[in-house]
Amino acid sequence: MAETSSNNGGTDEVLVEESGSVRTFILNRPKLLNALSFQMISRLTELFYASEVDPNVKMIILKGHGRAFCAGGDVSLFFQEPGNWKIGANFLLKQYTLNYVMAMYSKTQVSILNGIVMGGGAGASIHGRFRVATEKSVFAMPETDLGHFPDVGASYFLSRLPGFFGEYAGLTGSRLDGAEMLACGLATHFVSSDKLPLLEQALVKVNTSDPDVISAIISCFSHIPNLKEESPCHKMKIINHCFSRRTIEEIISTLESEALDKKDEWISSTIQSLKKASPTSLKISLRSIREGRLQGVGSCLVREYRMACHVLRGEFSKDVFEGYRAIFIDRDRNPKWEPSRLELIRDDDVDRYFFKIDDEDWEDLKLPPRLDLPRYAIAKL
């Protein structure tokens, strides 16, 4: 019988169930769509480290309570003290370190994505070995609408999706359902939500970290769902043609040329998504994903930490604060980006986001050493 442990009067933000050699970690802030707090990140890091050195633990299951797996990081912390960007930087340092531990974890992690998976929720799951989507899954990296950029290692996992689908998903913030997550590789399996209890019952009987054995068990409950007719997964030819362009301006121009030749609602909505996003965010996001294609997950996280610190400092653009105002405070969804147009942003403006921070108290992200790992622990995507 599973044991649920708690060290905070039953109100923990991360619940733990123990069953044989399996540990199930449950994100438990359902009213906030399981948005990751600083305490949750610290607790998950502690649990992952403890489970890795415990010879009795063979597998981790990670899931969310309620209708979300995890809708992202709790960014309200970043804006509680205007001007103190290091509060947000410290949060991201902890979060990116957790992402790296998950990406390089020596034991198998199964993430059950039965609901919303956005931003930081993607970082807590996509780096793991198995990602189980359902008909209730909704994935998105909507950061360019918030004046930010796809982080938590997204420049690593988006750049490894088929063709230039990662550029499309990361720049437009397009929402993908469970079938699309499976088709593009964000999910490794698709299981109907009504079969999840049976899947979990089978998984908790496992006494191995062998990913082939665990994959075979999940496959017994999984199937390949049909893609909806209007799915972007059916648009790979045009996505590759347009999103392979060198600059954001060229991507939009190519899409607009396609729109003249084809009366396609998907093309029009894609153009509109790009035009409403922060111009600065679009430019740094494209470069980040392109660099990520040539880097390992650790290098991607170190670079993203630099970029995020620049974003929070707001030296060139304060778009992240304007995006937060428009989405979360005033909720008018009408951000006033500055610079307001792509052509106002020079290459050297973009370059500065990739340099070290000019602050004597600031340091690059230092990731924990991960030694003597099995090959499958470093080749998940």
Q: How far apart are CA 38 and CA 267, in angstroms?
A: 39
Q: Which of 12, 13, 145, 151 is catalytic?
A: 151
Give the tens place of pLDDT for each residue, 338-368: 999 999 999 999 999 999 999 999 999 999 9
Q: Which contiguous run of DSSP H or E holds residue 242?
A: helix 236-243
Q: How far apart are CA 68 and CA 87, in angstroms?
A: 26
**Which of 246, 298, 255 is CA-nearest to residue 275?**
255
- pLDDT computed for residue 77 by the predictor: 79
- pTM, entire model: 0.94
Q: Which of 13, 143, 167, 200 is catalytic?
A: 143
Contact indicator for 255, 271 with CB cutoff of 8 Å? yes
**Is pLDDT above 70 for 211?**
yes
Of 12-16, 55-59, 73-77, the range with the lowest mean pLDDT is 73-77
Contact indicator for 274, 253 with CB cutoff of 8 Å? no
**Is pLDDT above 70 for 8?**
no
- pLDDT computed for residue 81 by the predictor: 76
Contact indicator for 134, 191 with CB cutoff of 8 Å? yes
b/e map 234-251, b = 16+ CB within 10 Å: ebbebbebbbebeebeeb
Residue 296: active-site member = no
Q: How many CB atoms lie within 10 A of CB 105?
A: 23
Q: Which of 72, 120, 153, 292 is catalytic?
A: 120
Sheet holding 14-19, edge to edge: 3-5, 14-19, 22-27, 59-64, 108-113, 130-133, 189-190
**Is pLDDT above 50 for 6?**
no
- pLDDT computed for residue 370 by the predictor: 82
Which residue type sits at 289? I
Structure tokens at 235: 């648009």
328 Cβ contact partners less than 8 Å away, ≥ 6 residues apart: 75, 76
**Which of 233, 124, 127, 119 is CA-nearest to residue 182?**
233
pLDDT band at 75 (very low <50, low <70, confident <90, very high): confident
- pLDDT computed for residue 4 by the predictor: 37
Q: Which of 73, 115, 119, 298 is catalytic?
A: 73
Structure tokens at 109: 């992690």
- Distances 126 to 100, 185, 217, 370 between C-alpha atoms, Å: 11, 10, 19, 19
- Write the DSSP symbol of residue 325: I
Residue 73: active-site member = yes
**Is pLDDT above 50 for 111?**
yes
Rg (CA), the chain: 20
Give the tens place of pLDDT for each residue, 141-186: 999 999 999 999 999 999 999 999 999 999 999 999 999 999 999 9
Residue 329 exposed, middle or buried by CB count within 10 Å (0-12, 13-18, 19+): exposed
Structure tokens at 75: 């960014």
Q: How far apart are CA 109 and CA 103, in angstroms?
A: 10
Residue 135: active-site member = no
Structure tokens at 17: 């169930």
Residue 120: active-site member = yes
